[in-house]
Amino acid sequence: MIDFFERTSTGRITEEELRHIGEENFAYIRELSAKDFEMLYPGVLPEDMPYTLYALLGADGEPLMISDDRSVAEANADENDLEMVSLH
C-alpha cells in the first residue's frame, strides 16, 4: 500500500503512486459462467456447480472470492469494508 502522505524526494506523488491510492478500499462484482471459470481454473469446480458464478474482485482485478450467490459476494465486500463500485 502506498501512503498518500509519503512523497518522493521531489515532494511530488508519481503517476504510478496516484494510480494506486485507495485501491485496497474498492471492489466490484463480475458475473462469470462456470464454463469460463473452468477454462481459467481447470478441475477446481465440482461438476454440479451452478452455471453462473459471481467473482468479487479488488480494484486491481485480483479475485477476492467466488460464489454462486451474488448476495454472498456483496456481503463479503461489506464484511471487509470494501466500497462496491460499478463498472460500465
pLDDT exceeds 60 at position 1:
no
Cell 486491481: give the residue: 60
Instruction: List the one residue out of 40, 42, 46 whose CA is nearest residue 55.
Output: 40
Instruction: Give 28-77 pLDDT, tens digit per residue.
Output: 999 988 888 888 778 887 777 768 899 999 888 888 998 989 999 999 99
The confidence band for 10, taking pLDDT boundaries of 50, 70 and 90, is low
Cell 491510492: give the residue: 21
Measure the N-to-C terminal CA separation of the chain; round to a whole number of Å. Answer: 26
More confident call, 79 vs 60: 79
Please list, in sequence order, all residues whose beta carbon lies within 8 angstroms of the beta carbon of residue 5, skipping any fewer than 6 positions away: none
Instruction: Show the DSSP H helices in the chain as ranges.
Output: 15-20, 34-40, 70-79
